Structure 1
Amino acid sequence: MKLRRLPAEEDAARRFSEELWLPYNRDLEAVVADHALVDAPDEAIIDEEVEFRLGRLEEESYRLWVAVDDAAEEVDLAAGDGELVGFVATSVDEAPSVFDRPDRLVVGDIYVRESSRGSGLARDLMARAKRRAAETDCGEFVLDVDVDNERALAFYEKMGFETLRRRMRVAVDEL
């Protein structure tokens, strides 16, 4: 298994979106009550995601690594090398000087395909995020997790994460 940084190239972003991002979101739809993609053809959803992801990949504070099941030393993500089996996306949340807290590395998304779950890949992806935190002098990790996603909650708690806040919501017309 190799972890490769996703380059800001359209072909690589499209492959990522088709092979990992869309299945990740479809999996979440199945376990998280309020997680749903728009009602549109997959191709239209992928096109929107590629445009969004390319913008993010150009940001200095953002990184996304994909796990590739391939024994080759060099892997060309845009060319279709290897099987994509997971990813982790991170961004740096710099602390404003008025707050007494360290910079934080935000784990935006982490996903492992069903076929690779239980293999230690999720820990490898978090280890890569930890290296990014060290490279950017971040002293903490933060992430959001859906309350319905019991498997993810258990994983994060096992890793040492603890609940810091609760995010609440209400529809505007219900307030």
Structure 2
Amino acid sequence: MEIRRLPAEEAAVRRYAEELWVPYNRELEAVVESHTLADDVDLVDEQVPWALEKLEATDYRIAVAIDTDEAGSIAGTDATLAGFIATDRDPCPSVFDRPDRVVVCDIYVREPYRGTGLAHHLMSRAGTRADEAGCSEAVLSVDVDNDRALAFYGKSGFEPLRHRMRVDVADLDGWDEKQ
């Protein structure tokens, strides 16, 4: 197994989107009630330019696990893409007393590779990324109904930092009268 940085190249990003990003989001959609994908768009065609733009930014990275020993580009190998981790850097403004952080945006391991330790290797990659970026913390968000992810993050040492809540904007109408 090799973990490689996803380059900002259309063919590599397209393969990542088709083989990892769409399956990840389809699985998440089945587990998390609030995670619904659009039906009227081609998910890959929408994701590729978005990911390319993010990858060209200085702080966003995607690392892809490839089940291979062969060299070559992600787009050019026939090897199986086994999982990925996406990270971003969250620098702290000088007015706050907290460290810079690496944000784990997404992490996914395909079914045949679950339980093999790959998720831990991907999280270790996030740790390396944090070290390289001068960050001393890693943070992430997880859906409250994603029990598997909650268990994994808890076993990995993550602790709750804050609660993120949502409301439909229509439900905010009339709040000034409710006070």
Cα displacement (A) at 1:129: 0.7
The corresponding residue for 1:2 is 2
- The equivalent of 1:144 in structure 2 is 141
What residue number does 2:117 align with? Answer: 120
> Post-superposition shift, 1:39?
1.1
| Structure 2 residue runs without a partner (length 5+) | 173-179
Structure 2 SS opposite 1:100: coil
The correspondence of residues 19-168 of structure 1 with structure 2, limited to 5 A, is 19-41=19-41, 44-72=42-70, 74-168=71-165
**Number of residues of Structure 1 aligned to a counterpart in Structure 2:** 172
Equivalent AA in structure 2 for residue 71 of structure 1: D
Q: Secondary structure at the residue paired with 1:168?
A: coil
Per the normalisation by structure 2, the TM-score is: 0.94
**Paired AA for residue 66 in structure 1:** V
Render the CA deviation track for 1:17-61: whole Å, top value 9, x for unaligned: 0000000000001111110110125xx211110010000110111
CA distance in 2, matches of 1:99, 1:118: 39
**Aligned residues of 1:5 and 1:66 also touching (Cα < 8 A):** yes
- Stretches of 4+ aligned residues off by more than 4 angstroms: none
Among all aligned residue pairs of Structure 1 and Structure 2, give the percentage whose two residues are the same amino acid.
59
- The TM-score normalised by the length of structure 1 is 0.96
Structure 1: runs of 5+ lacking an equivalent: none
Larger Rg: 2
